[in-house]
Amino acid sequence: MLRSSTEQSLQDQDTAHTVVKERRRSMLIIALVVIETILVLLALVPAQFWTRFLPNSTSAALDGPFPPVVAPLVTLLLYVLPTMVGFLCRGWQRALIFATLPAWFGLGVFLVSATFKIGPFYLVSADHVTANLSLLELFAALGALGWLGRFTIKLK
């Protein structure tokens, strides 16, 4: 079949628009994962560090570097960001990986730092295994809920 140059040009423009849209979506997902990772890492810093690092803050032991007014927002973000990441991903595999990646990274940093202080068997202690898996399950469930929400809203 012969196609006119106008039809081919329109198809090329549509393809280019789709590529740009996918690239923006990917960049947004990466940005959300980075923000989530930073929040997870800040949450893993012991309270003693924050009281020494922020001596003038009365709530540093409880809220870390965040003032009491902002602390609930940080908690909300730790629930909303994995859900948004799952919502933005097209495949459920990517939704689960990207939603749990910050928890994997944060747990890895935490476990390595804990083994310096406690020893190599910290990881296989029954109560720690349960807590670590629960955190990963929470982030995976939030990512899955976001991905399922995508189909509820019927977003392409």
Q: Is 46 exposed, middle or buried (0-12, 13-18, 19+ CB in 10 A)?
A: exposed
Domain residue ranges in the chain: 5-153
CA gap 65, 53 in Å, rounded: 9
Residue 48's pLDDT band (cuts 50, 70, 90): confident
Spell 106-126 as b/e; 16+ CB within 10 A means b: bbeebeeebeeeeeeebeeee
Residue 43 corresponds to which tokens in the numbers above? 């949450």
Percent of the chain surpassing pLDDT 70:
83
Q: Please, what is the average pLDDT of the chain?
A: 82
65 pLDDT exceeds 90? Answer: no
Distances (CA, A) of 7 to 3, 12, 14, 17, 79: 6, 9, 11, 15, 46
Query: What are 83-121's pLDDT values in tens digits?
Result: 999 999 989 999 999 999 999 998 888 888 877 777 777
